[in-house]
Every structure is written in structure tokens, then in C-alpha cells.
Structure 1
Amino acid sequence: MSAPALSAGRALRLAALSAAALVTVAPYLWMVSVASKPRDEIFSSSLRLLPHRWALLDNLREAFHRVPIGTLLINGAVVCGAILVIQVAVAIPCAYAMAKLRFGAARLMMGLVLLGLLVPIHATALPLYVAFRRLDLVNTYTGLVAPFSVSVFGIFLFLQFFRALPDDLLDAARLDGMSEAGIVARVVVPNSWPAVTAFAIFSVVAHWNDLFWPLIVVTDNRVATPPLGLFAFRAAESGSDYGALMAATLVITLPLVLAFLFAQRRFVEGITMTGLK
């Protein structure tokens, strides 16, 4: 009697997960559909997912003609890569110190990390812009990267992960004569790739899609990030070219989708905080 009930329960869970996945993927499918349609079908009264006439290549051609998508992708990769490398280089030693070392200010630092999670970038945007303007860092990669060099979320994520590392492993490294810096570089980091991958997905997606700060600090198209490039498709008089807009959005979001599919196993491991294999 238990086998049919188990099968029915599993089928119900699969149906619920499939429905949730369909709801999640639906906007992306609609974006691909609009990118594949000519303008007259986009504004047609009939609601169709597949177009009568495929115009994906025409829309892609128009998108690449309208904006330098290659430059936007390179700028996005440079900015997100620099932010990620600096964030990880800062977060791992800080999190290791708070998780595994005993010192008087540990609780105070933990409180500051939690407090930092409550402060949005919008609250500090104005003083940061004024400071960067005086330092002549507007329209530079430094101006895009510097405000996000320290990630309190990254410190908190690695802190939770490092608490699961066995102390015996670290004590054995100390008995072998390793310094704390050596332990971080040769023991902690090699065992932290699930957490690094999980944090990398969060960081890259957040800063690749960020429009608020680049819209403030960038006015030169040579250092524009991918979201800024999509503003070129706005037209107050003739209306927005939604086919080319969705085609450009498809190209811009495709690297994130591929990166997540490639790293999804490590991402799940990092989120669940399984620690050492």
C-alpha cells in the first residue's frame, strides 16, 4: 500500500515543481518569442508564442546595428569579474577570522556585518557620487567597481560556510607549521569552491543586471554596462523597437543562463552549505 502512495506523492511533487519552473521560465520564453517576431506581429491582437514569420535574425541584426553589444558585454565582464575577484579576496580572510579565530572584537565585527546587510546602495549613492566626481572617477571602471569591493553578504555567506569546516583539519595544518595566511590559501580556499561558486552566481547576476549605479556614474558609452545599452532602444516619438530590444536582451542575458547551467551543481552545494565532501 505504501508504494502507490509514494508514487502518487512523488508525482504530485514533480507536478508542483514543473508548474513552478514553467512560471519562472515563462518571462524568458516570452522574451524569446518577441525577439523572434516582426513588429506587426508583436502588436497583433492575437496572442501567439510562435511567430507566423521568424524575424529573429533581422532583430538581432538591428540590435547589433543600434548598440555596440560586443563592447557592452566586454565592459560587463570586466566590471563583474573585477568586483567578484576583489569581493572574494576580501570576504574569505574576513569570514575565516570571524569563524575560526578567537579575538575580542569578533562579536562587534559580526554585528557590523549584519548592520551592513541592512544598508542599501541607494542610501550611499549621493555621497559616493560626490566623492567620485571630485576624484575624477566618473566614467571609469574604478567608479563602477569600487563601491562594491567589500560585500557584507559575501562575508556572511563565507562565515556560515567556514563554521562547518572541521577544526581538526585546521589544527593539523597548524601543527605542520602553516601560518594563518597559509591555512587560508592552502586549506580553506581549496575546500571553499562550492561557496565561492554560489557567491559568484549571486555577485555576477546582481552586478551584470545593475542599472541604478551605472546610470549615475556613467555617461560615456565606451564604459557602459549591458543594462545601459538597452536605453538606446527607447524612442518617444516612434515607439520602442521591442523586437530589437528583446533580441539585445536575449544576447545580454544568455551568458548568465549558460554560466548558471554550467555551475548549478556547485551552486546548490554552496547554498546548502554541505561543507567538505
Structure 2
Amino acid sequence: MALLRWGLGRQNVHRSSRVLLLKLTVIVISVLLLCEYFIYYLVIVRCRWPEVKTLAHGDGQEPVLKAMFLADTHLLGEIRGHWLDKLRREWQMERAFQTALWLLQPEVVFILGDIFDEGKWSTPQAWADDVQRFQKMFRHGSHVQLKVVIGNHDIGFHYHHGCISASLSINSLPLLGCQLLWWLQPRLVLSGHTHSACEVLHPGGVLEVSVPSFSWRNRNNPSFIMGSLTSRDYALSKCYLPFEDRVLTTYGAVVSFLVLLVLAHFERLPSSLLSGWKRCRTHMRR
């Protein structure tokens, strides 16, 4: 009889352990799907294309170009790129970009420089590997155009590339910018490099908008700019990506809950917590 009770007790322990393992597996998979996949849909789906004012006043015949502007992806290379940092940041940017393409359906995407982080030091093979990773992350259909602008991190830091050095003083940059504005006479200027969003109004009423970084490596709250453009007017809006600290907080909370779940299963919690846990389970079963 004692042997029978021992056998039944062992079966109950095994059954309880299998149930616990199943619960842990379901929770872990669910949280991974939420934080690494579905969260991008839940956040980006709230973004809307801005409405051009001239169209809002009745001139609805002029075509509108839907353009996405992002900047400063800073793909890490083989020198300073830790594999975990590369995996985490590049997955975040790939999922954000692919989700934005699917939900927002832009006609053209502009990436405004600093695609890579180690252009100054990359060997030809390392550069080819970085380009291949970039093409995988930012893949797109034939109906979407992708326009890429080089930045200082792509070809060498601050006007230095290989053995060639151009001594362009910082004081001459405003003059160069004024010359470009006079020559091109744009209605709008969008730029990268600063990793932050800011606006500058140039002489003649030309607005310059700095596009924030697209990567968690540079910002806790990365974003990109959505532009509705016509031949006469434009409208801009910012679309935020998931905040990194919120994702990490979610993971931390789930890990804490899983630890409590395991400790409660093996009755390793303090007596007051354990009794409360048992009462909670009894109440949930009713």
C-alpha cells in the first residue's frame, strides 16, 4: 500500500512538473512574439499620413507622393560590433522597417546617411558583408523606391577618407549651406546626423527638419518622418517606434513572474507568500 501511494505521488509530481513546463513554455513564447514581432504592428499602426493643406481645401486632383524619411541606422561592423548588440539592434530596425512598409505602403523611402558605423575602418570583405546585411534588413518590393544618402560614418569621419583629407573648416559650413540653398532653392530640407529631431528656419523661410535616429542604439525612442508631398506643398508627421525601455521592462516583469511561479511550484517561497499564492490558485479554480 505504501509503495502504491509512493508511485501515485511520483506520478502527481511528474504531471505537475509537465504542467509547469508547459506554462513556462507558453508564457515565454507569447512574450517573445509580443516583444519581438507584434509590438511593431501595435505601435506603427497608430501612425497616419499627414494631409496636405492645399488638398484639404478642395484641390484634390494633384497627386500626392508618400515618402518615408529615416536616418542614422549605424549598422555595426566587425571591429566595434558585439554580436549581441548587432543582433538586437538590427532585428529591431528590420522589424520596424518591414512593418512600416506593410502597414503604411510608402512609395519611396529615403535613408539620410550614416547607414554604417565603421566605414573608415572596413576592409573590402567587411564592407561587402555590411552591405549584404543592409540589403537584407531594408529589403523592399519593386513598387517601393529606396534612396540612400551617404554620411560621414559611411565613407570616413568628418571629411577624412583613406589617405585623402579635406581641410574644410567648421566656419565655412554655414557659407556652403547658404550657397546650396541659393542654388537649389528648396521648399524643404531634411537631414540626419544629429540623432535627434529639431527644426531650423533658414533665410527665405526654408524649413530644415532633422530626422531622428532609427536605431535603439542611438535613442530609446527612435522614429522616422512621414511626408505627403505635392509639387506645391508638403505635410510632415513623426512616427514613433517601440520604446526600448518599455520592451526591457516587459521582459523584466515576465522574468520576475516566472521565477515566482517556479519557486511557488517547489514551495520555496516564504510562508506568507506561499499561503497567499495557494489561496489565489484556489480562488481561480472556483
- Please give the TM-score of this superposition, normalised by the length of structure 2: 0.21
Question: Which of the pair is proportionally richer in strand?
Answer: 2
More helix by share: 1
Larger radius of gyration: 2
